[in-house]
Amino acid sequence: MDRENSIAVVTRGLKKRFGGNGATVEALRGVDFQARLGELTFIVGPSGCGKTTLLSVVTGLLDPTEGEVDLFGQGIHRLPANQQIDFRRQNLGFVFQQYNLLPALTAAENAAVPLIAGGVKWSEAVDRAKALLDHLGLNGRRDALPAKLSGGEQQRVAIARALVHEPRLVVCDEPTAALDHATGEKVMELLAAKAVHPDRAVIVVTHDSRVFHYADVIAEMDDGRIVKTEDKRLKEVLA
Amino acid sequence: MHLIALKMLTGDRAKYLGLIFAIAFCTFLLENQTSIFAGILRRTGSQILDVTESDIWVMDAKTEYFDQTKALKDTDVNRVRGVEGVQWAVRLFKGNAVARTMDGKFAASLCFGLDDATLTGVPRKMLVGSWERLREPDAIVVDKAGYLLLFPDEPLQVDRTLELNDHKAVIVGISDASAPFLSVPIIHTRYSQAINFVGRERTQLSYVLAKSAPGVNLDEVTHRIQAQTGLLARTTDEFRWDCIWYYLKNTGIPVNFGITITIALIVGTVVAGQTFYLFTLENLKQFGALKAIGVTNWRLTRMVLLQAITAGAIGFSIGTGMAALFFELTLHKIATRGLVLWWQSVVLTAGCILLVIIIASLLSIRRVVVLEPAEVFRG
């Protein structure tokens, strides 16, 4: 697949304003952004520059004030609410900064949640999640509760939860922010090795410059705009 | 998702047990207090219900409740007998006498004088002895609680002698009469004997017990008795309720129990409701993550409802079990005999618990529904 035909996410003139009555905050000021299948796209920038807002709007969790978002050719914000939720459940995987695992569920059960939410039977979903956890190097910890797991292990469970239903887009919000450098490196290595797939796009929001070298594309944001895009793949092709 | 909801509910054992305990405690208090309240009120008319042969009580027109009697004329029984629709009518005397044992132990007692010929109103369930022996001279039947009050820790035994207002009385039977409102011995004897025990006055007749003729409307008969005699005629059920209403209106019992029940309801509601609400609030982040992943509000609402109903059902069952155990343990004790767990109380409590659960669920569901899934990205 050529790069032009592999575009998974496109935003055009994306604007997002919060508040009103004179206290308006403009979080996004006309963002044009792309992410491709088979690539790891980083959105980087200082705190408060609009990275997380962009991620929320791209995934349909927030509606834009202006502009459009296309996910795999589908205008997600034009879908009715229920279809939007279905679309998100089937096509998106999430990795959160604070993992957001359910404390009462084991690692395997946590990883199985998207499958269960999609109607897969409990036992089948947990079996599939266990297989994925084994693949991610957590074979001895799949029956452990989150409280018994280290930060790195919890984030790996969160990655398993994001991948278990084989989504076409995985979004990661500061996946290394709560981890020490060595663990963060391992998590990013795992993400790059296991999440990136020819039929899947991966977007990572981070301000951790130590992991930038894993990116295929880096979109740098400042003050609600993308101010610079570094396309390493393109450089390789041109070189 | 139902299993996830239940695992979320039971995952934090301390909070889960706290929630269950709060609901169980609230249930126990409500069922316990409302049942005791109903049981005590029932006692105000227990001697009325113990008379099973007749279905009409005739008394002075101003009588308000069982313990308030104004003697009728002896001829009134014949006037009642003369009313159309009355199959038969007999006398009943009710008075007080001091019962004293040979050892000197004494107690004020409630003394019933039954029609000499028919012994209408005699307690049919005898634990020891025979009510037929009431026809013997000086014979009395005393209830078990009264017997044990006069002869503590002694076996139930007939042919023992008592003094009733300085008159000799021989116990020929020990009955299982219903507990009265006040814990006093209940003594049954013949009408003529009772008058001797209590002391003869110008008029003696407390009540006329009447039986309506078969196929005759009971209300019509009572209306006819009232119209023709100028006395008050009430059916057994009406008279029992007259007593209950009198005590409700004129004593502090409802206020006392009402306060306890209200406090149980408020404390139980606040503790159980707030515990569940806080439980949901603490899980908001997890609900947010589920929303982001693609779980609909409707499914999350069902999850919260399932958690609430499960906690409510378990807490209510444990509380009802505790209340049932309490009444089972106290049912056979003298002071608390006859007090049982009323099914109406269980239903009422179930309604209260359901209301608490619904309110707590609605508040919790509201928080979950208005939650922005994008919140999960905010650290």
Q: Show the domains of chain A with their CATH numbers.
A: 39-52+80-238 (3.40.50.300)
pLDDT tens for each residue of B309-335: 999 999 999 999 999 999 999 888 877
Mean pLDDT of all residues in A141-161: 89
Task: Please judge whether A117 and B293 are an interchain contact, meaning their C-beta atoms are less than 8 angstroms apart.
Answer: yes
Same domain (yes/no): B201, B274: no
Q: For residue B49, is it within any domain?
A: no
Q: For residue B243, is it within any domain?
A: no
Residues of B in contact with A117 (CB under 8 A): 1, 290, 293-295, 299
State ipTM.
0.82
pLDDT at B57: 93
Same domain (yes/no): B226, B86: yes
pLDDT at B210 over 90: yes
The C-alpha atoms of residue B332 and residue B220 are separated, in whole angstroms, by 40
**Partner residue opposite A85 with nearest CB, options B8, B294, B378:** B294
Same domain (yes/no): B218, B256: no
Sole residue written with tokens 């003529």: B192
Least confident of B116-125, B236-245, B311-320: B116-125
To the nearest whole angstrom, how far is the Cα of B4 from the nearest Cα of chain A?
A: 8
Q: What is the DSSP string of B56-106?
A: EEEE-TT--STT---PBPTTHHHHHHTSTTEEEEEEEEEEEEEEE-TTS-E
Q: For residue B135, is it within any domain?
A: yes
Chain A residue nearest residue B299, CA to CA: A117
Percent of chain A with pLDDT over 70: 94
pLDDT at A3: 58
Q: Pinpoint the alpha helices (H) of chain A.
A: 51-58, 81-91, 107-117, 122-135, 151-163, 181-190, 232-238
Q: For residue B203, is it within any domain?
A: yes
Confidence band, pLDDT 50/70/90 cuts, at residue A7 = confident
pLDDT at B140 over 90: yes
pLDDT tens for each residue of B284-299: 888 888 888 888 888 8
The C-alpha atoms of residue A55 and residue A74 are separated, in whole angstroms, by 17
The C-alpha atoms of residue A158 and residue A110 are separated, in whole angstroms, by 8
Position B261: which residue type? I
Name the domain count of chain B. 2
Q: What is the DSSP string of B213-224?
A: PTTS-HHHHHHH
**Partner residue opposite B286 with nearest CB, options A94, A100, A122:** A100
Q: For residue B102, is it within any domain?
A: yes
Chain A residue nearest residue B371, CA to CA: A61
Same domain (yes/no): B303, B203: no
Nearest by Cα to A170 from A51, A9, A2, A46: A9
Same domain (yes/no): B78, B177: yes
Element containing residue B366 per DSSP (H, E): helix B343-370
The C-alpha atoms of residue B339 and residue B327 are separated, in whole angstroms, by 7
Confidence band, pLDDT 50/70/90 cuts, at residue B70 = confident
Q: Is B338 on the interface with A (CB under 8 A)?
A: no
Q: For residue B276, is it within any domain?
A: yes
Mean pLDDT of all residues in B191-206: 82
Residues of B in contact with A102 (CB under 8 A): 4, 7-8, 11, 286, 289
Chain B residue nearest residue A123, CA to CA: B3
Contacts of B313 (CB under 8 A, 6+ apart): none
Q: For residue B178, is it within any domain?
A: yes
Confidence band, pLDDT 50/70/90 cuts, at residue B229 = very high
Same domain (yes/no): B87, B224: yes
Mean pLDDT of all residues in A42-57: 89
pLDDT at A74 over 90: no
pLDDT at B251: 85
The C-alpha atoms of residue A104 and residue B299 are separated, in whole angstroms, by 19
Mean pLDDT score of chain B: 88
Mean pLDDT of all residues in A218-227: 90
pLDDT tens for each residue of B9-68: 888 888 889 889 888 988 998 899 889 988 888 888 888 888 888 999 999 999 888 888
Task: Please judge whether B293 and A82 are an interchain contact, meaning their C-beta atoms are less than 8 angstroms apart.
Answer: no
pLDDT at A88 over 70: yes
Q: Which two tokens stand for residue B378?
A: 């905010």
Same domain (yes/no): B138, B108: yes
Q: Are B146 and B162 in contact (CB under 8 A)?
A: no
The C-alpha atoms of residue A41 and residue A61 are separated, in whole angstroms, by 19
The C-alpha atoms of residue B231 and residue B181 are separated, in whole angstroms, by 25
Mean pLDDT of all residues in A168-191: 83
Task: Please judge whether B374 and A114 are an interchain contact, meaning their C-beta atoms are less than 8 angstroms apart.
Answer: no
Mean pLDDT of all residues in A101-122: 91
Interface mutation target, options B7, B12, B287, B293, chain A, most CBs of A under 10 Å = B293
Element containing residue B276 per DSSP (H, E): helix B253-282
Same domain (yes/no): B140, B90: yes
Same domain (yes/no): B284, B335: yes
Range of the domain at B366: 2-43+252-377
pLDDT at B197 over 80: yes
Mean pLDDT of all residues in A159-172: 90
The C-alpha atoms of residue B241 and residue B149 are separated, in whole angstroms, by 29
For chains A and B, count residue pairs whose Cβ atoms are closer than 8 Å. 81
Task: Please judge whether A103 and B374 are an interchain contact, meaning their C-beta atoms are less than 8 angstroms apart.
Answer: no
Question: How many of the other CB atoms lie within 10 Å of CB of A116?
Answer: 23
The C-alpha atoms of residue A103 and residue B96 are separated, in whole angstroms, by 70
Chain B residue nearest residue A163, CA to CA: B293
Interface of B with A in 358-377 (CB under 8 A): 372-374, 376-377
Same domain (yes/no): B96, B217: yes
Task: Please judge whether A89 and B294 are an interchain contact, meaning their C-beta atoms are less than 8 angstroms apart.
Answer: yes
pLDDT at B126 over 90: no
pTM > 0.90: no
Q: What is the DSSP string of A138-187?
A: -TTSTTS-GGGS-HHHHHHHHHHHHHTT--SEEEEESTTTTS-HHHHHHH
Mean pLDDT of all residues in A159-180: 87
pLDDT at B83 over 80: yes
Same domain (yes/no): B185, B331: no
Q: Is B26 on the interface with A (CB under 8 A)?
A: no
Question: How many of the other CB atoms lie within 10 Å of CB of B4?
Answer: 23
What are B167's strand-pairing partners?
B164
Q: For residue B59, is it within any domain?
A: no
Same domain (yes/no): B270, B149: no
Residues of A in contact with B376 (CB under 8 A): 94, 96, 100
Percent of chain B with pLDDT over 70: 99
